[in-house]
Amino acid sequence: MRTHTDYLWFHTQKRQEFVRITDDVRQIVQASGVRDGMALVSAMHITAGVYVNDWESGLIEDFQVWLEQLAPAGLDYRHHQTGEDNADAHLKRTIMGHQVMVPITNGDLDLGPWEQIFYAEFDGRRRKRVIVKVMGVA
Amino acid sequence: MRTHTDYLWFHTQKRQEFVRITDDVRQIVQASGVRDGMALVSAMHITAGVYVNDWESGLIEDFQVWLEQLAPAGLDYRHHQTGEDNADAHLKRTIMGHQVMVPITNGDLDLGPWEQIFYAEFDGRRRKRVIVKVMGVA
Amino acid sequence: MRTHTDYLWFHTQKRQEFVRITDDVRQIVQASGVRDGMALVSAMHITAGVYVNDWESGLIEDFQVWLEQLAPAGLDYRHHQTGEDNADAHLKRTIMGHQVMVPITNGDLDLGPWEQIFYAEFDGRRRKRVIVKVMGVA
């Protein structure tokens, strides 16, 4: 059995930004030598998420508009009494999820035809990490 | 260490349909020979989900009514400019989640008394897949 | 390869209560002897969740207020025709998620600076369980 760990770093220009990371995850999986198993891809910061969905710019905008409706920025959140202003980012990332497990078969990501892995930043403009932990057999 | 992979196929009659798959997952786990470990159960299409909750028809209707409120069909989504009409299905599956990890103990699913695994289809009437990847010790 | 399974028990005083369990999960991981791998932390009851987010009481209140807006208690849910009165708890736990995978590196939880693991009870005042299943190499 084999394990392999790597980290992806992000420093987005905008506060909210969705970044496709399928190829980055694939590279780490291939470097791991694992031919059959799973990779955990998990945001290490609590105002960012990781999710699987379509690589289509219109849908990505739909997600962002929708999240703004479900968890609006700028409300009078209790969390802001600490000096923070990002409570909505914590809520938005909860809707999207903060991690995915990616199956690995024959040395590659075993994804459906339209599945793409995304990093969803909701409070960016600073350095943040995603862990990729691969586990399986060579 | 042992890994085992199988796929469940779905072709629902209705556009939206929730299908209990606990027994299908159990069969795959038993065929794998894994006695202790985990099974990843993950939708391979991005308008379907996999979740764990109650096997009670009233609650399943409650879920469907609720999802329609949170992510209504028929709105003027940007995704629909591509010719698609299923943006709401992408959003709904995000609320429900698209995958679960099922613990395996003593060769069986280690579920609580009411936990049942469901496939949630939001844009059906065509063939779709769920991957079941089992990993653990014999 | 090594696996290790333990269960955390909860019996909250209030119907809704969020309990930090990071240290409990860490103890189980350390008892497992696994130095590199993953731990599944999963609610075994379908009106409770497990999630990762900030250990800040204001934000926890924000989550609770927000969930009440998205999935209110006391509505005329179909599930209540069975005699239950907790349909909202099923919906709330779906928003929060019912399980997380925690990466393990160098024998400890590999969490970001603010990541804390929580048990989210939405229909408490009775005994409930969370499974912690550890898998990896010693």
Cβ atoms of A47 and A129 within 8 Å: the answer is no
CB atoms A3 and C100 under 8 Å: no
Q: How far apart are CA C103 and CA C112, in angstroms?
A: 11
Contacts C108 to A, Cβ<8 Å = none
Average pLDDT of chain C, as a whole number: 98
Q: Given this model, what pLDDT does residue A78 score?
A: 98
Q: How far is C46 from chain B (nearest CA, A)?
A: 5
* 3-class SS of residue A23: helix
pLDDT tens per residue, range C106-119? 999 999 999 999 99
Q: How far apart are CA C72 and CA C66, in angstroms?
A: 10
Residue C132 DSSP one-character state: E
Q: How far apart are CA B48 and CA C126, in angstroms?
A: 33
Q: How far is C42 from chain A (nearest CA, A)?
A: 14
- State the amino acid at position C22 in one-letter form: T
pLDDT tens per residue, range C66-84? 999 999 999 999 999 999 9
pLDDT tens per residue, range B65-104? 999 999 999 999 999 999 999 999 999 999 999 999 999 9
- Looking at the partner chain, which of C53, C70, C96 has a beta carbon nearest the beta carbon of A46? C53
Contacts A133 to C, Cβ<8 Å = 37-38, 103, 105, 110
Tell me the backbone φ, ψ of residue C111, rounded to 5 degrees. Answer: -105, 155
Q: Given this model, what pLDDT does residue B69 score?
A: 98
Q: Given this model, what pLDDT does residue B133 score?
A: 98
Q: C48 has which bridge partners?
A: C121
CB atoms C95 and A94 under 8 Å: yes
Residue B82: count other Cβ atoms within 10 Å of its Cβ: 14
Q: Given this model, what pLDDT does residue A93 score?
A: 98
**Angle CA(B119)–CA(B131)–CA(C91) in degrees, nearest 5?**
30
Interface of C with B (CB under 8 A): 1, 3, 5, 40, 42-46, 70-71, 77-82, 87, 90-91, 94-95, 97-99, 101, 129, 131, 133, 135
Residues in chain A predicted with pLDDT less than 70, given as ranges, are none
CB atoms B79 and A62 under 8 Å: yes
- Residue C131: pLDDT band with limits 50, 70, 90: very high
Percent of chain C at pLDDT exceeding 70 = 100
Contacts B94 to A, Cβ<8 Å = 51, 53, 63, 95-97
pLDDT tens per residue, range B25-61? 999 999 999 999 999 999 999 999 999 999 999 999 9
Helices vs strands, H then E, count in chain C = 3, 8
Q: Given this model, what pLDDT does residue A133 score?
A: 98
Q: How far apart are CA B58 and CA A34, in angstroms?
A: 44
Q: Given this model, what pLDDT does residue A126 score?
A: 95
CB atoms B90 and A137 under 8 Å: no
Q: Given this model, what pLDDT does residue C68 score?
A: 98
- Looking at the partner chain, which of B90, B91, B131 has a beta carbon nearest the beta carbon of A103? B131
Q: B33: left (phi > 0), else alpha (psi -120 to 50), else beta?
A: left
**Angle CA(B19)–CA(B24)–CA(B25) in degrees, nearest 5?**
105
Give the C-alpha distances (Å, rounded to integers) separating B9 from A118, B70, B128: 25, 28, 6
- Looking at the partner chain, which of C63, C66, C137 has a beta carbon nearest the beta carbon of A3? C137
pLDDT tens per residue, range B106-132? 999 999 999 999 999 999 999 999 999
Residue C23: count other Cβ atoms within 10 Å of its Cβ: 11
Cβ atoms of B47 and C90 within 8 Å: the answer is no
Percent of chain A at pLDDT exceeding 90 = 100
Tell me the torsion sign for CA atoms A22, A27, A29, A34. Answer: positive
CB atoms C115 and A70 under 8 Å: no
- Looking at the partner chain, which of A43, A44, A78 has a beta carbon nearest the beta carbon of C58? A78
pLDDT tens per residue, range C8-26? 999 999 999 999 999 999 9
Where are the extended beta strands (E) located within B44-127?
48-53, 99-105, 108-109, 116-121
The two tokens of residue C92 are 């709330």
| Domains and their CATH numbers in chain A | 2-137 (2.60.120.460)
Contacts C59 to A, Cβ<8 Å = 77-79, 87, 90
**Which residues neighbour A9 within 8 Å (Cβ) at sequence distance 6 or greater?**
A127, A128, A129
ipTM reported for the complex surpasses 0.85 = yes
Tell me the backbone φ, ψ of residue A130, rounded to 5 degrees. Answer: -125, 130
Tell me the backbone φ, ψ of residue B62, rounded to 5 degrees. Answer: -60, -45
- Looking at the partner chain, which of A38, A52, A100 has a beta carbon nearest the beta carbon of B46? A52
Residues C34-59 have a mean pLDDT of 98
Helices vs strands, H then E, count in chain A = 3, 8
Q: How far is B87 from chain A (nearest CA, A)?
A: 7
CB atoms C103 and A133 under 8 Å: yes
Q: Given this model, what pLDDT does residue B76 score?
A: 97
Contacts A103 to C, Cβ<8 Å = none
**Which residues neighbour B128 within 8 Å (Cβ) at sequence distance 6 or greater?**
B9, B10, B11, B43, B44, B45, B48, B121
- State the amino acid at position C70 in one-letter form: L
- Looking at the partner chain, which of B59, B97, B101 has a beta carbon nearest the beta carbon of C42? B101
